[in-house]
């Protein structure tokens, strides 16, 4: 048996860390001295301690490590596969950030505001029929919600004719719980056909609150944002500044059209988003 100081030297885990592992039931001592309440560890626990160190190096949390130690090899394999995917995605994101930072240095950009310059466009959007749904979701769930809408369109022969868009509702931004309405334009002739039915809502509306809707023609001020969504606020700022200096009044209806996004299998720096403000 090893005292906590001896076990600490063998495993390179500090006594403070070993006490913490004991407290959270991750690595409890083999026995506690009845007279002195000292912790004592067995030979077999050296291997467990080394395994914990290795799993921490693999970026597993202590809670995840506890689950791995208490399950079989298949569970371990599944956890490692998931962690590989997470780390790969993290590396991809970091690589994009590095490329962007290198571009800043190469092009002599000294302010983030210099990366995007926005040309403001004004025009009329014609009436369009869309399939839409409103959800309360996190920012990370938007892509899957768009996929769900496309899948529903395909299964119900709704024939999307343009790229998806999203309108963010509510006064406050919370990336963990967004009130968002997602819509995709669909073939107009389909709506004309459905209009001959008694109730479009009964035909198309489903339990997931997916429905057909007509967006009336409207005047719009817009701009194109190139790159990831973290900096898209600059596009909104450019439009609002332009509107302030014009004779237009925003109606409150704003939306983003994803001309090229995650579904295009491109780097985030190559995303193309049209930001739109309806105006009077």
> For residue 202, what pLDDT is reported?
43
Distances (CA, A) of 119 to 116, 226, 236, 251, 267: 10, 12, 12, 21, 23
> For residue 200, what pLDDT is reported?
40
Q: Which two three-digit tokens encode residue 193?
A: 């056909």
Name the least confident of 21-25, 64-68, 187-191, 258-262.
187-191
Give yes or no for residue 11 having a pLDDT over 50. Answer: yes
Give yes or no for residue 102 having a pLDDT over 60. Answer: yes
Mean pLDDT (the chain) is: 85
Identify the CA nearest to 177 among candidates 147, 207, 140. 140
Distances (CA, A) of 16 to 5, 33, 55, 130, 229: 10, 18, 19, 60, 43
Residue range 231-249, pLDDT digits in tens: 889 899 999 999 999 989 9
Q: Which two three-digit tokens encode residue 276?
A: 């739109």
Q: How confident is the model at residue 108 (pLDDT cuts 50, 70, 90)?
A: low
> For residue 216, what pLDDT is reported?
93
Residue range 186-230, pLDDT digits in tens: 886 555 555 544 334 444 445 457 888 889 999 999 999 988 888
Assess contact for 116 and 239: CB atoms under 8 A. Answer: no
Residues near 211 by beta carbon (within 8 Å), at least 6 away in sequence: 131, 132, 133, 201, 204, 205
Strands (E), the chain: 2-3, 31-32, 39-41, 121-125, 128-137, 165-169, 178-185, 210-215, 218-226, 250-260, 272-279
Task: Answer yes or no: pTM beyond 0.75.
Answer: no
């Amino acid at each position: 048996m090893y005292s906590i100081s001896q076990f600490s030297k063998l495993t390179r885990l500090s006594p403070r860390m070993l006490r913490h592992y004991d407290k959270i039931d991750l690595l409890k001592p083999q026995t506690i001295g009845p007279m002195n309440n000292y912790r004592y560890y067995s030979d077999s626990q050296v291997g467990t301690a080394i395994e914990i160190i290795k799993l921490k190096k693999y970026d597993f949390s202590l809670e995840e490590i506890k689950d791995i130690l208490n399950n079989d090899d298949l569970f371990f394999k599944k956890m490692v596969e998931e962690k590989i995917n997470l780390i790969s995605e993290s590396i991809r994101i970091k690589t994009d950030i590095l490329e962007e930072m290198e571009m800043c240095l190469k092009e002599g950009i000294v302010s983030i505001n210099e990366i995007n310059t926005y040309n403001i466009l004004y025009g009329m959007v014609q009436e369009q029929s869309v399939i839409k749904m409103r959800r309360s979701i996190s920012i990370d769930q938007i892509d899957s919600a768009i996929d769900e809408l496309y899948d529903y369109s395909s299964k119900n022969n709704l024939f999307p004719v343009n790229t998806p868009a999203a309108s963010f509702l509510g006064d406050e931004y919370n990336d963990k719980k967004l009130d968002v309405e997602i819509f995709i334009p669909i073939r107009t002739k389909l709506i004309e056909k459905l209009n001959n039915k008694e109730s479009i809502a009964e035909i198309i509306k489903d339990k997931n609150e997916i429905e057909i809707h007509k967006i009336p023609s409207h005047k719009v001020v817009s701009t194109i944002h190139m790159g990831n969504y973290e900096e898209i606020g600059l596009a909104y700022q450019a439009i609002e500044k332009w509107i302030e200096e014009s004779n237009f009044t925003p109606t409150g209806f704003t939306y983003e059209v994803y001309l090229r996004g995650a579904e295009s299998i491109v780097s985030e720096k190559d995303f193309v988003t049209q930001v739109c403000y309806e105006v009077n």
